[in-house]
Amino acid sequence: MRVDGNTLNRIQIVNQIKTQCTLKYSNITDWVHDIHHIRRVVKNGKTLAKMENLTSLNSFLVEIACWLHDIGRVGETIGLEFNHSNHAEVSYQLSKQILQPFQKQLGREGTYKILQAVREHNLPRLIHPENIVGRLLVDADRGAGLNPLGIFSMLSYLQITDIEPIYNQKLARQKLPQLLEKLTKENKLKIALEKIEFLNDWYFGTEKQNRTDVLVNPLYTKSAAKLYYSGFQKILRFEGQIKALIT
């Protein structure tokens, strides 16, 4: 039986939200955005909160936002280009319902920070960058793909090539040579490169890597740039291998 939200401490609130979200994410058939992705984002969010020396309250809010941010992806069709997905708005509406029992502990401002972060997390540029919860959610979410696993996720989600689900970073690194061979055989190197380069915009922003018509802010925190540096360098090396084959 669910306990009244007004009697719970922060750990209990997170656990209740985690339980609800885990159940809902189990209905997502797209492996790129299933519960494994959410757990990576939550892990990133908690790490970044520590690196940025956030208060215990803001760290608490960031963790909740990370759990909620993709709750609207249930039933979403895979293969959507990023600016055609409305999952952030759906996630925002669903999150309001999920957070309602915990409003006393979250407070009006805390609830607002979470909902605003969820609503804006997939925008190329935050509308309210002053919201620390929003900044860390964006950095945590992008960071889940700024590594070899992100290469497979990108190409699978956009249906560039058929890829078996991969949930492990080590396995993703090991399979990069096989992926390169597969893309070569399917004559999809150019289209793959075009899509993988989106990841550069997530790291640098279009102020440095302007390949799209949409201006994208770089990672919002220096901590995120540092945390994801190694994984992102592997993406750049893979891009270099594709370019060498194309030329």
Where is pLDDT greater, at 153 or 209? 153
Residues 9 and 117 grouped into a single domain: yes
Give 209's pLDDT tier (boundaries 50, 70, 90): very low
- Structurally, how many domains does the chain consist of? 2
pLDDT value of position 84:
66
Q: Using an 8 Å Cβ cutoff, are 125 and 215 in contact? A: yes
| Nearest by Cα to 79 from 201, 199, 161, 167 | 161
Residues 32 and 45 grouped into a single domain: yes
Q: Using an 8 Å Cβ cutoff, are 88 and 118 in contact? A: yes
36 burial type by CB count under 10 A (0-12 exposed, 13-18 middle, 19+ buried) = middle
pLDDT value of position 208:
54
Please give the share of the chain, as a percent, with pLDDT higher than 90: 85
pLDDT value of position 211:
47
Q: Domain with 16 in it: what CATH number?
A: 1.10.3210.10
- Interval 7-19 mean pLDDT: 95
Q: Is the pLDDT of residue 136 over 50?
A: yes
Residues 96 and 41 grouped into a single domain: yes
Residues 63 and 182 grouped into a single domain: no
Give 215's pLDDT tier (boundaries 50, 70, 90): confident
Residues 107 and 165 grouped into a single domain: no
Boundary (domain end) residue, out of 99, 116, 143: 143
Quote the pTM value: 0.93
- Interval 8-29 mean pLDDT: 95
Q: Could you give the count of Cα atoms lying within 13 Å of 30 in the half-sphere of its Cβ? A: 23
- Interval 89-115 mean pLDDT: 96
Q: Is the pLDDT of residue 213 over 80?
A: no
Identity of residue 235? I
DSSP 186: T
Residues 96 and 189 grouped into a single domain: no
Q: How many Å apart are CA 185 and CA 204, to the nearest integer?
A: 31
pLDDT value of position 4:
56
Residues 57 and 130 grouped into a single domain: yes
Give 43's pLDDT tier (boundaries 50, 70, 90): very high
pLDDT value of position 7:
78
Residues 138 and 159 grouped into a single domain: no
Residues 103 and 202 grouped into a single domain: no
Residues 155 and 130 grouped into a single domain: no
Boundary (domain end) residue, out of 87, 113, 143: 143
DSSP 76: P
Residues 74 and 183 grouped into a single domain: no
Positive or negative, the Cα torsion across 52, 222, 124, 36?
negative
Residues 133 and 220 grouped into a single domain: no
Which residues span the domain enclosing 214?
Answer: 148-246
Give 29's pLDDT tier (boundaries 50, 70, 90): confident
- Interval 66-87 mean pLDDT: 81
- Interval 197-209 mean pLDDT: 84
Q: What is the pLDDT of residues 48-76, one digit of tens each?
A: 999 999 999 999 999 999 999 999 998 77
Q: Is the pLDDT of residue 170 over 80?
A: yes
Average model confidence (pLDDT) for the chain?
92
